[in-house]
């Protein structure tokens, strides 16, 4: 069994910073593309940023220049450094990973979500 656990959310004032982490554990053969999504109340879940196993990244236009996605393959962990936060960044942030298990099965996994609240 493989699971993703997020941490690092919280309450911050506009202009502040937070760092989210997503740790994968279990019967992992390979972590492929990983990503952060977010969902604000009344909105659909949207892609924030993604990173391949080789380190190629992709960002939503709304976070370019402010957020940085990274990963530590040795620790099976992904990060999201969020700077210059705005009230509109308030949402539940979810970790997503394309995982190949030790049984060589593909799994699309989600974490439980972590709340990020940015006050004005």
Q: Average pLDDT in the 60-87 region?
A: 97
pLDDT at 104 over 90: no
pLDDT interval class at 1 (50, 70, 90): confident
Tens-place pLDDT, residues 50-60 = 999 999 999 99
SS (HEC) of the chain = CEEEEEECCEEEECCCCEEEEEEEEECEEEEEEEEEEEECCCCCCEEEEEECCCCCEEECCCCCCCEEEEEECCCCEEEEEECCCCHHHCEEEEEEEEEEECCCCEEEEECCCEEEEEEC
Tens-place pLDDT, residues 106-118 = 899 999 999 999 9
């Amino acid at each position: 069994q493989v699971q993703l656990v997020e941490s690092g959310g919280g309450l911050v004032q506009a202009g502040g910073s937070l760092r989210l982490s997503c740790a994968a554990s279990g019967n992992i053969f390979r972590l492929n593309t990983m990503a952060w999504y977010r969902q604000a109340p009344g909105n659909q879940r949207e892609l924030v940023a993604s990173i391949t196993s080789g380190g190629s990244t992709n960002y939503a236009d709304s976070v370019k220049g402010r957020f940085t996605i990274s990963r530590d393959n040795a620790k099976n962990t992904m990060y999201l450094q969020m700077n210059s936060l705005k009230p509109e960044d308030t949402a539940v942030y979810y970790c997503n990973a394309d995982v190949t298990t030790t049984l060589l099965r593909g799994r699309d996994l989600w974490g439980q979500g972590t709340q990020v609240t940015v006050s004005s």
